[in-house]
Amino acid sequence: MPGSLHAVTGGDVVAEDDRRAPAAVVFDALGLAYEKAFAASEPHRASLRWLLGRLAPGSRVLDVGSGTGRPTAQTLTEAGHRVLGVDVSPVMVELAGRQVPGADFRLADIRELPLAEASFDAVCGYFSLLQMSRAEQAGVVAKLARAVRPGGLVALATVPLDVEDVEGVFMGQPVRVTSFAAGAFTELVTGAGLSVLAADHAVFAPAHPDAVPEPHLFLHCRRDAG
């Protein structure tokens, strides 16, 4: 889940009271307002079309940071794929379950959730790393690469900025953000055993009064065989 130059966001981390990940606090508060702010993202929908054009019928897809379930889980489910959505926000998981009843959603922190080797045909992670440390982001990308079968697909998106543990405000919510510049994020992904088939850069202005245009990077990848 993205943010902006002075308000980047996404992913899972710290805690409101040592028990809740800060992303849970942020996205519990935002709810459907987040979906409305980013509903018009054509680059996100283009990324989903990229996946749909390459997935075999009935593919098993993991959606990390599934949010309200729209557009990712909904688009994939309506195309006949089997989707498991994972999110750290109870409010988002409840909304997604109501809005996309054809998918399965689980309340979990992807950093801690066990994932069997090669258990998915594809994995999506749209803006779901940005509230993790750089070491955690690297660990999660490697984990997702292992969870997809050899030859399977991985779609990742981030806000490509060279920032680490920066304080910001996202749609009125305080956040701490860490990210990589585009080249460094691409190196992280390839180092995890993924081949980048396409890299799409975009600038998107969320539909929210506090938002400004922000850079987005979408990487479309395949897990290397062997």
pLDDT of residue 65: 95
pLDDT of residue 10: 34
pLDDT of residue 40: 77
Which candidate, 115, 212, 68, 98, places its Cα nearest to that of 85? 68
What CATH number labels 22-223?
Answer: 3.40.50.150
pLDDT of residue 98: 94
List the chain pLDDT tens, one digit each, 226 residues. 443 322 322 333 333 333 456 666 665 555 566 677 777 799 999 999 999 999 999 999 999 999 999 999 999 999 999 999 999 999 889 999 999 999 999 999 999 999 999 999 999 999 999 989 999 999 999 999 999 999 999 999 999 999 999 887 666 667 788 999 999 999 999 999 999 999 999 998 888 787 778 899 999 999 998 6
Q: Report the predicted TM-score, pTM, of the whole model to 2 decimal places.
A: 0.86
pLDDT of residue 128: 94
If 0-12 CB within 10 Å is exposed, 13-18 middle and 19+ buried, where does residue 4 land?
Answer: buried
